[in-house]
Structures are given as structure tokens and as C-alpha cells.
Structure 1
Amino acid sequence: MLVGTIMRKIKSRTWKKQRYFKLQDDCMTIWYKSKKLFPSLICVPLFPVSVSDVEAIREGHQSEVLLSIADEFPADRCFTLVFRGRRGNLDLVAESAEEAQSWIRGIRKLMENLENMGQRERLDQWIGDWFRKADKNNDGRMNFREHHARLFSFFQMADRSQSGTLEDDEFVLFYKMLTQREDVLRVFQQFSLDGQTLSQSDLEDFLRDGQLEGDNVQQHAETLIQRYEPSDTAKLLNAMTFDGFLMYLGSSEGSIFNPRWREIFQDMSQPLCHYFISSSHNTYLMEDQLRGQSSVEGYIRALSRGCRCVEVDCWDGANGEPIVYHGHTFTSRILFKDVVTAVGNYAFKVSEYPVILSMENHCSVEQQRVMARHLNQILGNKLLKSTLDGKAAVGLPSPEDLKGKILLKAKKLGGLEESFSGTADDSQTGEVSSGKSPPSYNLKDYSRLCLCVRLLVSYLNNIVFESPHSQKLTFISPVFLFPQKSKQRLSKELSDCVVYCKSVHFSNFKHSHIHSKFYEVASFTESKARRHLRDTGGEFVHHNCRQLTRVYPSGFRTDSSNFNPQEMWNAGCQIVALNFQTAGEGMDLNDGMFRQNGGCGYVLKPGFMREAEKTFDPETPQKRDGYQPVALTIQVISGQQLPKVNIKEDSIVDPLVRVEIYGVPLDQNRQETRYIDNNGFNPVWYDTLRFTVHAPELAMVRFVVEDYDKTSKNDFVGQYALPLRCMQQGYRHIHLLSKDGTSIPPSSLFVHIRITELE
């Protein structure tokens, strides 16, 4: 890797070009250059690849691009670099299987080394990267102009050679001067009797009074000293130096997210309807809903993020093969069988708990039979084809019962009971109600029809109804011109693949309470769900105690934007489907919610949302049994190494921190600190924000750092979201994430958290 290798970079079946790849001396960056520059052996950074950006390596033909050239290059020479966030994959073909394995093993080893780095090593690595980026002319030195320093006096102190430039050691000294952790030192000295070390007794006091830990602080103090103290002498004295204290606070134990909640800690043996389930909408789409690319990569990425419910929209395709795309739009098409293959390959790599395949079926009976055949042949035993014990079920099984199983959510002929009563229909097809259906026009025809109706309404309002007292007409989508209910032909083969998740039309909660079966799943648009939540929130919660509900984004979100999932979780809706390809508030909250419980994609709902005899209305949380509000106090102390957001040479961040509370309507709140002028290295606030939370079991907390701008909208810097109940109290670091949810080390916030029950 350090010598360099010629490999083919593959973009499509027709775009296959040789590139010279070489690992740089820092063992952290791979550069490549075009074939024209091969003889020079000077690696021009046309496309630098940072090992820290690589999320995974897939061997063989495990991408759409490499599958398209499978007949040309054998699998043992192919591999794919998958990057964090929404950056496209890098598909490569080595000259031999041995070379491919050398790169695969080498990159995986470098990734492992990165993962195992301690806080100090990560900081040193970051310093080195920062120095190389600031060294614009690549001469191994950095002058003051290149650095854009705030404090010239620090620069002069670090420039021991008095050369007007900083070399490696001088730059490290300069950096440490700029980024001294006076905030942490202040806490350290507050609890240290001698100001130099924390004895075990001092550390116990800190854990009790500073970190607000009440249990077993003696044993915890002993463990922290052994785990984080770098000095063997201090360890022998059972004490912690400032360096050890800083390493502890920068570790996962010192983070705001309680590490015990990162493991699977919840009861996984309750019915499926008792869990929030990480869910995706239009999973096949990589971009917008009108012209975006459809790709199996969407399924791979969603499942790799712990998603447990993916959606597939099926339509008749050429040569008898069903296809998947966003119907009546210009999105690209992919084969249904390729989607099923991807789901089968990646369903259980991150989580062993069940995956729900939510199907929107627009296919003819003939192609439905093809779909059923693909599901059975490709998924095999992973596809759930009958109740778990082979007997009539009386309730939904649990995630634990369904480990390793894929459940199909779709329309079904009849119900589960008929399968065991001997009354099942043996015919090969049947009819099911499809509820309200949009017209079968393509997008262009539908848009023209909308325009015609708008013009007609405008004409009637302006010409016919001239009286100012007459009631004006309002434009409504021309769906009303078509039959509201229709029958869909359904093949028995596909129907038989549906067991616990039968898609049904929803009438009202009263009808559902009397007639609905536990295995029936109703779907709501966000607007319809929001209306039910506002009008009959308590009934909505009660409905979701018994059966699954899916909520999906409005059809008007053509840009693949997302709604706030919290309002749907407030009603106990389990399958809150989001566009995983779109970064922003919605996905931040979704990632934060499902970061807990081992990232398995299932989170147990609060007890008052699982028990039928309990009553809970999110509009009036204070009326429920066991109501106990809390006061949340957050002191935002400081920030560390906040990234620049503007590529302009003289740009410096003016950071502020906003804390947002998401929960029941009474808890929705946001407050922010003042902004700090021109300091992204180590801004200090010591600003205190206070919140009252009435339903802490449901509340999410989101931290957002922005670059303040007086004349325009603030620029995003970083964020982190987590459930309130997963927060550790005391002095904690918040390790910030980018807009697309990837880490941006070593950027962080330092805060103090206190949660107290209100009388």
C-alpha cells in the first residue's frame, strides 16, 4: 500500500479507468492519480481518501456497479469502500486477488487501529492532520499567515527558533497553548486537596458531588484510576493526575450518553406493538421523490444503520420481472429480486431482531407470483411463512421470538384464523379492497390535469361568482374525480407470505377497537396521524397498545424531507417511517432514539403506553397515573475544536449552542447561549439553560452548534441528540456529529447536567 498499486476505478459498466493508488506516510490518507501521471510517481491528490471516513469494506460484487461488471472481473479482485454519511461508494478492481486482499486487510487494520485509539492519540492525530492542512505550500513549516491565529503572543512563545514559522514540535506547543482546558482544570482543582492530584477520596467526592452518582462510588473510583491514569506512580498511590482526569472525561464513560444504555438492556420478550421500530420510507430512493435515483444501496445503508422496517414499491416490469421505483414519477427503476437479495444479505448484519418488509403492491397477479417466488427462493428460512408454533395465534410475537426473521407487511386474502380453521380459499387469486387510490396517470398527465382544474376553479371564482358574498370554490387535488374505492386482484402465493402484518384500511378508532385483529396494520400519512393525535390522542395511544401503526411522510415532500418523528412517538406509533437519505432534524432524532438498546432498532415504549388499562393523552400528560415532571438544568461550559463551516480563508466560527427539547406538546422548548466572537478552538460560555419536562420518558434532547451570523441564517456546525433518560448527570462531554450523523472528532461540548424531580 505504501509502494502503490494500479487498480481500476469503476463508475459504471462503461466507465472503468486505471488509477494509481498509494497510502501516504501518515497511514491515514490514500491518494490516487490518473494514468497520464503514472511515470512521475508523484501522487497528485486528485481524490484524497481518509481512512477515518471509511465505514466498511465490502468484498466481491457487493454493489450495483460491481454486479454490472461481474462477467468481466472475478469477485476475488473486486471490493468496495463504503464511506460514512451520504458520500458515494468507491468501487475498485485490483490486478490480482492477492493485491485486492492486501488492500482489504490493510485498510481494515488501519480502521481497527483508529477505532482503538485513546483520547490522547486521537488528539495527536488531529493535530497532525491540522498541521498538514494549514501547511499550504507543503514545506513542512507553517507561518502565522497560514494559521490565521487569534493570539500573536502565543505564536511568538511557540516560535522558539525565532524563525517566524512553526515546525512540528513548535506547532504542537502552539496548539496546546491555544487549547488549554482551563475549564476542566477548574473542576479538577475544585475537588483536589493538593491541587496536583485527585486521591481516591477526592475522586469519590467528585463522583458523588460533581457527577451526581449515588451508588458504589468507591469501586467506581478505583476502576477509573486503573483504566485512565497514565502514570504508574499515581496508580501505585491510588490517585489520578490531571491527564488521567482529562482522559476519563473525554472517554465514553465521561460522555453525556450513559454507556450502560448503549447495550441491549430492555426486555425484548414483549409483543411487537410495544416497541418503537426504526423505519424507513421509500428506502430504494437515494435522492428526491420525483427524479431521484433508485438503488439497492438505499436498503444496504438503511439496514446498516439499524433500520428494521424498509419499504418497497412494486410495479410490473419488462420480461415478467417486477420492478421497484416511485410510481408515476421519473425516478429510476431497479429489479425487485435485487432488492430482496440485498435485504436478505444485510438484514441481520447489525441487529438480529426482525426486519419488516413493507410492500406497496401495484403489480399484476402474474408478476405477484414472480414476487412470491423470489421472496421464497432468495430469503428461504429467513422469510416468516407461518405463525411461530404453527397454531392459531392470539397476539403478536416478540422481537426475541422473531430473531433472524423477515416479515412481509402487505395485503392478505382473509385472516390468520382462516388458515387454521380449514376455511381458507384454495383459489389462486382473490380480491382485496385497496381503499382510496390515486389515478393511474403519469406525473406529466397528472400535473396537466391539476392545472386544468385550477384554471376552471379560477374561472368560476372570477366570472361566475361575481358577488362578494358568494362562497368561493377551493382547488382540491383531482383525485376526487375518480372512484374512491377499488378492488385489487391478489395472488394467493403472495398473500400466503403475509402472517403478522396484514395491511388494512383504517376507518376510525371505535371500529378498530371492535373489529380489528392484532395482526392488522394501518398506515397513516403524517397529516392524518397528526389530526388523530390532536383530536383523539388518548384513543390513538390505546389503539397502539394492541396493534402496529405505520406513519409515513406526506406526498408533498417531493424533496424527500422529513417530519418530526417525535409527535408520532407521542401517540405510541411504532413504525414511524423517515427518508433515511435526507439529513436534518428528523433523522437526528431518529438516530438519537435508536442509539440506545444496543442500536438494535427496537426501543421499548414507556409502561403507560403499553398497558390497555392505563390512560395517556399526550396533550394532557399531567393527567396520567404516575405523573412525575422533572427539572432539567444544563450548564453549557465550553466547546473544543469546532469545525470551520465556511471555506473562505479568513473565516472563523462565532459559535452558539442551542438546546432543543422534543416531547409532548407541553415539553416542546428551545433555548440558546450567547455567541462567542471568533473562537472555534475553545469557546467558553458558562451559560445555564433550564427546562421543565412533563413526560421525561418520551423526551428527546438535541444539542445544536451554529455559527452566528448577524445578516443571514446561522450556519450549522454540529449536533447531537439523545433521549433524556439516557443522559448522564454531572460534567460530561458531548461528542458532536455532522449534519449527516457522522462523527467529527475531536469536536465536542463540555457541559454540566442536573435532573431533579419536581414536587
Structure 2
Amino acid sequence: MSKQTYKVCFCFRRRFKLAATEAPPPIKSLFEQYSDSNGIMTVENFHRFLVDVQKQAGASVEDAQAIMNSTAHIFHRKGFNLETFFKYLFGDSNPALEDRKVHHDMNAPISHYFIFTGHNSYLTGNQLSSDCSDVPIVQALERGVRVIELDIWPNSNKDDVIVLHGRTLTTPVELIKCFRSIKAHAFNASEYPVVITLEDHLTTDLQAKVAKMVTETFGEMLFTPDAGSLAEFPSPESLKRRIIISTKPPKEYLKSEESKAGAMGSQREKDSAAEAWGGEIPRFNSRITADFKQEDLEEEHEEEDLQDDHCAPEYRNLIAIHAGKGKGGLDDWLKVDPDKVRRLSLSEQELENAAKTHGPQIVRFTQRNILRVYPKGIRFDSSNYNPLIGWMHGAQMVAFNMQGYGRSLWVMQGMFKANGGCGYVKKPEILMNNEAIFDPRASLPVKITLKVTVYMGEGWYYDFKHTHFDAYSPPDFYTRVGIAGVPADTIMKRTKAIEDNWIPAWNEQFEFPLTVPELAILRIEVHEYDMSEKDDFGGQTCLPISELRKGIRAVPLYSQKGDKYKSVKLLMHFDFVQFTQRNILRVYPKGIRFDSSNYNPLIGWMHGAQMVAFNMQGYGRSLWVMQGMFKANGGCGYVKKPEILMNNEAIFDPRASLPVKITLKVTVYMGEGWYYDFKHTHFDAYSPPDFYTRVGIAGVPADTIMKRTKAIEDNWIPAWNEQFEFPLTVPELAILRIEVHEYDMSEKDDFGGQTCLPISELRKGIRAVPLYSQKGDKYKSVKLLMHFDFVQSV
């Protein structure tokens, strides 16, 4: 163990012991559990460790041997000793994310994907006075960005086209230079399509010149649609190594106005400095106010359809993704045209305002069309906003200033580490479900709980100067861990600070209940505590929850600008537990149910809630379903949850599209007993009753349905002899609902009995089915004769 000396003053020095990196106690304990009496973890024991702790259920002994062979420089000839096992855990061969290439289905329309999108991609720095260059375009493409934005303007002689942030002091770059750089670097990081969005401020003759540049530069790489407008967007797979042009309809060129840059330059985003260093990501419902009333520097003009007299035809024919808001307000902008698709652009402020009143409509719009969100014009310092505002509403193109940095950009980079870093991430099913439109503001039950343990960290001693954090002592590191996601999931927590230690060991665990894990990003930051000044930055990373590997993993950290450190990393443990697999969730009726009515109990059950609390003094269909569920297991009041709700490897998603597992066939033959249990004029004062039966399923959304027989006129003993089929994707949670009503032409149909039966305990064959009153009391004589059968899906 060596020592490190810090100079305090001219005549005084402080010495600190410099500890060597060693396994923390929890790792030592695990090693002892999986090693033999000689302190060696054999291949067989290492295989058990992979299955039990790392949750790699499919791993074989051969896989374990391959891992050991791949780490030959630290591999003991008989197996791992503690030192080599610890080095393996902390090594590059044990990453936190799935080490996979592209693995999402890439054959859906591009509107089904989040796309890595840049904003003002040509700027080297701030939005007002930095240089325009092709260098940041190249850097963005090399990081996997798939959407490049170019603002194109006439040059001073009006005879050529330049790229420039209009009405600012930025210096221009030639458009052709940007095009050539895009062509050279477009597919180095990913072979999936690159979209060039053009902010057009050109005359018709210069549009024609741009069209020639595009066709000559990109040639066969260019994708141009056969028709003027696409009825559906093509897939990323079909557009591999293709360039796509997207632009809003150009207006007639307006003569240049006086520069407003001077007036604009005095305004600044209030929290710009904090964001540049790494200010906290604003919540969805937070508002950053400013007195700035000038329109945004871009995209502020109302978009119109392409007009022949304002657009060169050869330029118009290149546009594959048409953009435009059209006439009218938000309702018109969000209309879904079944015959064509388009792109809509909204500023972050516009989207935030629209989401308050049109959240589900925005989600529905993005199921077929593309929504692009861009930073508001007062972000002069090239800062960014919370990308979740766009993603949780289905926005595909959440445009970011890639030349900036800060927490928002870290989250963006974290999202696009998914799917092999190809720049396209398939949107989760909840955003594509057309039957139940996702509402980001809705209160949802916890779907899963992420457990994160922060063991220790190392590498700062090698990647930083020894006085970088503190001139007089080793650093005092702490870790911040949290979630960027929908508002209910967003949170940050922190460890204690470990004083005077280059190799801090925290050994702290945190739990994060997640309602929408599909949209959650794990945020990790390390800081050095400073009592008198602002805490120093020590590294960060963001990881998509959807691709996080269970078990003990090495987590490399990155700089503020997103560059990976050579040595700095954390040792962490990740695990997922469905909240209701270990904890109890109680659901209760909302307070406005003054009449003691109830709600759909399946909302709770399909999310694993054990205590679905009901007003038992009330009555109605919800209570009938509740009573039906607890007819199971001998009516003891406890019904074991199905295995699908307890599987920790594949967490059940009630909204997911699942295959049909089994089909229930129900035949309703006849009924009897009303003549004895009711007055003869109860149903109709002038004739015998006209009974019909309703049969259906209460279950997950895909299974829920009701069907009915015909009405049998004037008959106390109706015979229907009708058969119904119910395909079931989750029969374990399905309840068979049966009701009889008496048809009344002039008034509300009369109630004739009901029952609910758990599918899991239904007997096949021809069975007598007694019916119950609205309050759940069994009738003496009323019953149906029915037939039940199950057909297993192939």
C-alpha cells in the first residue's frame, strides 16, 4: 500500500494511504459461496454463478468456459481466484448493457421508431455567433445521429446556397461541403437511413440548384418516392444506406430583414449555465419563464402546401417526408389522414402546451405520422430540454443541439445506446396500441421495481490529475442514481460521500418503482463533494432500462461531453422485481363514488395487485366479477396469482399484444326457473317474458368482450341453442360473465339473473349454471343449461 502526499502550505505536507483496488465485502461473500475449499471458482461453479446471480439462464458450462478463456490474462489455470474473479467482474467483458447488435424489428414504418435527431447540426457552438461547419455534422454522424438539419439560405450575391443560422452572427459554410461530408460519413456508425431536414429560405432558381446538388452528390443513395405523398412510411430495413430529404413547404423567398441578433443577444435562458454544466432535467410540468417575446429563430412561420409557383418541381420531387402544419389550430394539425403521412414540427414549448389538452391525440398522431420536436429559440447557448416530453407522446424526432452538453443530452445519448446504437429504437407497444391510447399523465400502477446496488468505483486516480478534485486531500466521491421517465417514475437518489478515497466503496442499494419501464432511462453520476464550492463532476452515464442486464456489472463512465473515460468505472448490481411479486398493492375506489359503486377489478389483478378493495355494500357488474373471481379455490378468499404474474425473468405486460393461448367454446342451450321465482307480471304485464342471454369475458383488454343470443318471445322456458367462441390470450386472468335479461321494446330491459365463473376452474361438458340476483343472492330455481369446451391453440 503506497502513500500520496498533498502540499498544504510551504512547510506542511499531508500524507494519505493509497489503497489498492480490492473486492468489497459483498463480492467476497459471493466468491466464497461459489468457490471450493481451496479458494478457487471452477468452471462449473462459475456457470452456477452466471445462472444464479447474473440471471443468464441460457448460459451453459461451455459459455462459462468461453468467458474464462476470453479473459486468459487474468485466468488462473484451475479457475478464478478472488483477485481474478473480481477483475473479471470489473472488466470490459461484463458490460451493463446487452452486447448485441441491432435486434429490434426493423421492418415496421419509420414512424414506429424513435430516431436519433440533431438540431442545427452545422453549428460548432452557440446559436448566435459560432461558426457554421461540416465538422459537427461529421461528429454527429459518427455518434450514430440519423437526422441532420441544415438551414439553407442564398449567399450575398444570391447566386449560390450556403448553410447559415439566419438573422444571427454565425459564419456560413457551403451547402455542397455539408452534402459531401454527409455522404462520406453517413453510414460509418450505422447503415440505417439518414434523414436530411432542410429549413428552406430559397428562391425557386436556387431550389433547382439544390436539387441538382442533391442528385449529383448522393446519386443512387437518394430515396425518392414514386408518388407525391407517401400513404405509409417505408421501413428502416428497406431504406438501409439511403439518404432521405425532408422539408417543410418553402414559402416565396422574402428579402432579408435587418438582423435582430443584437436585440436577441441580450436575452439568456435563466438556467443556461446550470444546463451547460449539467443542470437537472426539468420535470414535464415545470415551466421555464422568460420575458423574451420575439418569435423563434426558426420554424415559426405557418407551413403551407407546396405551391407550383413557389417551388422548383425538381426540388419538390426530391422530398420524401413532407412537413407541414396546414391551416387551423392544434386539432387540425393533429388530424390523421388515412391516405397520406407527413411530418409535423413543434417547439418544445408548443408540445408542452399541447400535451396539457391533447396528450392522447398527439400519441395517436405519431402512430402513423412523424412528430419532430425542436428546442425553443431562446436556447442561444445550445442547451437542451427534457427529451421525455417528446418520447412519452410518441415523437420520433426529438431534435437536440448535439454541440451542447448537459443532463438532457446525456439522457438522449443513453436512449440511443439501445438497439446496437444504430440510431433507431422501436417505440414500445404502449405507444402503438390503437385500442387504448397511452396517456402520459394517467396514474398507472407500478409495473416493475428496479433494484440498483452501487458497490464501488475506480479509475479516477489514473484519468485525472491528483489535485483535480481537491488540492489538499484525496477526493470525497458520492454517486447519484435515478430515473428519467414519465413524471411518476422520475427521481434521483444519492449515496453517502466517501471521504479521502480514490477507490470509494459505497455498498448502497436503491429501489425504483417503475410504472412505464419501457420509457425509463437509468441515470448514473459521480460527483466529488466540496464543502465550500460547487461539487466537482466525476463522470456520468445513462442506460436504457429495456436493455439493462441483471446481475453484477461493470459500468464505464463518460465525461460531460459524452467521451468515455479510459479507466473510470463503477461496479454495480441490477435486478428487476415486479412490485407485487414481493410487496402488497392495495387498490381502492376513488373518492367520488358516493353511491358505493365500484370499478373494474381487472385493472388491479392484471398488474398483480393483491388487495383490490371493493364497496361490498354496493352492487353491479364490477362486484359480480369480483364475486366470480373468489368462487375459485373453494371460496376461501385466497386465490393464487398465476405464474405469468410471478415470472421475474419475463415481466408480464397487460397491454402487450400476445398470441391466443386457448379458445373457450360456450353453448347456451336453455333456461328455466323464472316462473317459480318471480311474479307472473314481473317482466311483462301482458305476456310471458322475452328472455335473451349475454355471455362474455372479463379479462385483459385483448380478451374482454360481450356477446348475446337472440330473444325468445313469450316463453318462461327459453331455448336458445346458440354457440359462442372466445379466443383468450391470458385465460389465467379471465372470468366468464353470464347475464339474462328480458327484452322490453319501450323501456329498459329487465334483469333476469347473472353469474360470473373463473375460467381456470370451469368444467368441460354440459353443466347446470345457477343464476344470482343483482345483489349476489342465489335464486332458488333459476338456472341455465350450458356446454363448455376448450380448444388449445396450435
TM-score (norm: length of structure 2)? 0.63
1:300 to 138, 155, 158: 138
**CA–CA separation in structure 2 for the residues paired with 1:619 and 1:360:** 33
Question: What is aligned with 1:598?
Answer: 420
2:479 to 620, 634, 657: 657
Q: 1:753 Cα deviation (Å)? A: 1.5
1:334 to 169, 173, 176: 173
Question: What is aligned with 2:608?
Answer: none
SS of corresponding position for 1:546: coil
Q: Is the 8 Å Cα contact of residues 189 and 195 (structure 1) preserved in structure 2?
A: no
Question: What is aligned with 1:498?
Answer: 319
1:205 to 24, 27, 48: 48
Question: What is aligned with 1:150?
Answer: 16
Distance 1:716 1:379, change over 3 A: same
Question: What is aligned with 2:244?
Answer: 407
Q: CA RMSD, aligned part only? A: 3.3
Distance 1:227 1:328, change over 3 A: same
1:441 to 250, 258, 268: 258
Higher mean C-alpha displacement, 281-290 vs 251-260: 251-260
Distance 1:349 1:548, change over 3 A: same
Question: What is aligned with 1:215?
Answer: 58
**Stretches (4+) displaced over 6 A:** 145-148
Matched, 1:187 2:30: yes
**CA–CA separation in structure 1 for the residues paired with 2:414 and 2:153:** 34
CA deviation vs aligned residue, 1:352-397 (integer Å, no higher than 9, x gap): 111110110111222222111111111111122233xx79853110
Distance 1:484 1:704, change over 3 A: closer
Question: What is aligned with 2:293?
Answer: 477
Distance 1:515 1:712, change over 3 A: same
Question: What is aligned with 2:559?
Answer: 738
1:313 to 151, 154, 158: 151
SS of corresponding position for 2:80: strand
Q: 1:218 Cα deviation (Å)? A: 3.5
User: Any stretches of 5+ residues in structure 2 without a counterpart?
Assistant: 268-289, 581-794
Q: 1:439 Cα deviation (Å)? A: 9.4
Question: What is aligned with 2:200?
Answer: 361
Question: What is aligned with 1:395?
Answer: 232
**CA–CA separation in structure 2 for the residues paired with 1:689 and 1:135:** 35
Distance 1:291 1:475, change over 3 A: closer
Distance 1:259 1:148, change over 3 A: farther
CA deviation vs aligned residue, 1:451-490 (integer Å, no higher than 9, x gap): xxxxxxxxxxxxxxxxxxxxxxx9773659xx97697832
1:672 to 482, 487, 494: 494
CA deviation vs aligned residue, 1:230-251 (integer Å, no higher than 9, x gap): 478x55x5x3333442342133
What are the residue-to-residue correspondences of 1:197-596 with 2, within 5 Å? Answer: 197-230=40-73, 235=77, 237=78, 239-260=79-100, 263-319=101-157, 320-387=159-226, 393-412=230-249, 440-444=257-261, 477=293, 489-505=310-326, 507-509=329-331, 512-515=334-337, 518-596=340-418
**CA–CA separation in structure 1 for the residues paired with 2:295 and 2:68:** 68
Question: What is aligned with 1:638?
Answer: 456
Q: 1:515 Cα deviation (Å)? A: 4.4
**CA–CA separation in structure 1 for the residues paired with 2:386 and 2:301:** 29
**CA–CA separation in structure 1 for the residues paired with 2:104 and 2:208:** 39
Matched, 1:718 2:556: no
Q: Is the 8 Å Cα contact of residues 567 and 663 (structure 1) preserved in structure 2?
A: no
Identical-residue share of aligned pairs (%):
27
Q: 1:221 Cα deviation (Å)? A: 2.5
Q: Is the 8 Å Cα contact of residues 628 and 758 (structure 1) preserved in structure 2?
A: yes
Distance 1:135 1:758, change over 3 A: closer
CA deviation vs aligned residue, 1:135-179 (integer Å, no higher than 9, x gap): 99xxxxxxxx9997522xxxxxxxxxxxxxxxxxxxxxxx7x532
Q: Is the 8 Å Cα contact of residues 273 and 544 (structure 1) preserved in structure 2?
A: yes
Q: 1:739 Cα deviation (Å)? A: 1.1
Give, as a single letter, the amino acid of the residue that structure 1 aligns with 2:31.
Answer: F
The structure number with the bigger radius of gyration is 2
Distance 1:485 1:283, change over 3 A: closer
Matched, 1:706 2:527: yes
Q: Is the 8 Å Cα contact of residues 253 and 259 (structure 1) preserved in structure 2?
A: no
Distance 1:726 1:712, change over 3 A: same
Q: Is the 8 Å Cα contact of residues 229 and 243 (structure 1) preserved in structure 2?
A: no
Question: What is aligned with 1:691?
Answer: 512
Distance 1:375 1:630, change over 3 A: same
Q: Is the 8 Å Cα contact of residues 323 and 345 (structure 2) preserved in structure 1?
A: no
Q: 1:510 Cα deviation (Å)? A: 5.5
What are the residue-to-residue correspondences of 1:161-180 with 2, within 5 Å? Answer: 178-180=20-22
**CA–CA separation in structure 2 for the residues paired with 1:513 and 1:640:** 53
SS of corresponding position for 1:586: helix
Q: Is the 8 Å Cα contact of residues 541 and 572 (structure 1) preserved in structure 2?
A: yes
Give, as a single letter, the amino acid of the residue that structure 2 aligns with 1:181.
Answer: A
**CA–CA separation in structure 2 for the residues paired with 1:391 and 1:526:** 29
Q: 1:524 Cα deviation (Å)? A: 0.6
Distance 1:530 1:447, change over 3 A: closer
**CA–CA separation in structure 2 for the residues paired with 1:730 and 1:616:** 31
Higher mean C-alpha displacement, 607-616 vs 316-325: 607-616
Q: 1:550 Cα deviation (Å)? A: 0.5
Q: Is the 8 Å Cα contact of residues 296 and 338 (structure 1) preserved in structure 2?
A: yes
User: Any stretches of 5+ residues in structure 1 without a counterpart?
Assistant: 1-126, 137-144, 152-174, 413-430, 451-473
Q: 1:186 Cα deviation (Å)? A: 4.2
Distance 1:448 1:741, change over 3 A: closer
Q: 1:505 Cα deviation (Å)? A: 4.2
SS of corresponding position for 2:178: helix
Distance 1:150 1:186, change over 3 A: farther
Q: 1:713 Cα deviation (Å)? A: 2.2
Q: Is the 8 Å Cα contact of residues 326 and 333 (structure 2) preserved in structure 1?
A: no
Distance 1:148 1:205, change over 3 A: farther
Question: What is aligned with 1:17?
Answer: none
**CA–CA separation in structure 1 for the residues paired with 2:324 and 2:332:** 18
Give, as a single letter, the amino acid of the residue that structure 2 aligns with 1:193.
Answer: D
Distance 1:492 1:210, change over 3 A: same
SS of corresponding position for 2:180: helix
**CA–CA separation in structure 2 for the residues paired with 1:367 and 1:484:** 20
**CA–CA separation in structure 2 for the residues paired with 1:448 and 1:540:** 34
Which protein is richer in helix relative to its size? 1
**CA–CA separation in structure 1 for the residues paired with 2:191 and 2:391:** 23
SS of corresponding position for 1:395: coil
Distance 1:533 1:597, change over 3 A: same
Give, as a single letter, the amino acid of the residue that structure 1 aligns with 2:53.
Answer: G
